[in-house]
Amino acid sequence: MAEQGFVESFTMEEEKLQQEFYESHHGKEILKCIQCGTCSGSCPLTDQMDHAPRELFSLIRDGFMADALCSNTPWFCVSCYQCMVRCPREIPVTDLMYALKQMAVSHDVAQPSNKMPDLYDAFSREVKRAGKMNETGLMARYGLKHPLDMPAKTGLALRLYRRGRLAIKSDKTRNPDQIRRMMETQPEGMEK
């Protein structure tokens, strides 16, 4: 659930943030939303989200940008695209979730209890370093920020290791720099 105190401490101008969202890639598409709720009904992760997708879009359109940017919803989105293929207005819901994540990171407004941004960050750094994802590298990076979470994950890691599903030694692709450059390049058409 949203941490009310954190949302209330938000000091940025919500009108400006709403404008920034509209100017992001596909941002204005949200204005076509008819609030039918098909996206929320299709989403497999709504029980984890503090606002279902339809509700999140309503917050943005009503200018409640603090609630929208501090929401855990985009971080729980697993990009399954169920909402997008079913939306009667063909709104790119998944892409809008990415836009919200980018805005939350660029304004550094993720809620302290939301650990997903740190997991995303660890994933991205590991792929930039090795050109691929190594589970041990990922968890080591994440564990540096959340050491108290690690004991609970050790049992699972050991079970995976015994079954040969977890490599201790991290390896790299032949040219990880190519992957890093690709990740750091803004794709054509993604500019505001």
Structure tokens at 91: 């709104």
Comparison of 53 and 137: residue with beta carbon closer to ligand SF4: 53
Taking the complex as a whole, the smallest distance from the CB of residue 75 to ligand SF4 amounts, in Å, to 10
Strands (E), the chain: none
Tell me if 94 contacts ligand SF4 by CB under 6 A.
yes
56 CB neighbour count, 10 Å cutoff: 26
Print the binding letters for residues 112-131 with ligand SF4: x by CB under 6 A, - otherwise: --------------------
Give the number of other Cβ atoms within 10 Å of residue 113's Cβ.
10
Q: Is the dihedral of CA 39, 28, 98, 14 positive or negative?
A: negative
Please, what is the minimum distance in Å from the beta carbon of residue 35 to ligand SF4?
5
Stretch that binds ligand SF4, among 78-86, 106-114, 135-143, 157-165 (CB under 6 A): 78-86
Asked if 100 interacts with ligand SF4 (CB under 6 A), we say no
Residue 175: strand, helix, or coil: coil
103-107: long-range contacts at Cβ-Cβ below 8 A with a sequence spacing of 24 or more? 103/17, 103/20, 103/21, 103/24, 103/69, 104/69, 104/70, 104/74, 107/12, 107/17, 107/69
Alpha-carbon distances, residue 184 vs 45, 102, 127, 187 (angstroms): 29, 13, 12, 9
Answer for which of 79, 154, 173, 175 binds ligand SF4 (CB under 6 A) is 79
Q: Which is nearer to ligand SF4, 46 or 111 (CB)?
A: 46
Q: CB of 98: closest distance to ligand SF4 in angstroms?
A: 10
Residue 59 CB, nearest distance to ligand SF4 (Å)?
Answer: 12
34 counts as binding ligand SF4 under rule CB under 6 A: yes
The residues that touch ligand SF4, with contacts defined as CB under 6 A, are 33-39, 42-43, 45, 53-54, 57, 77-83, 87-89, 91, 93-94, 97
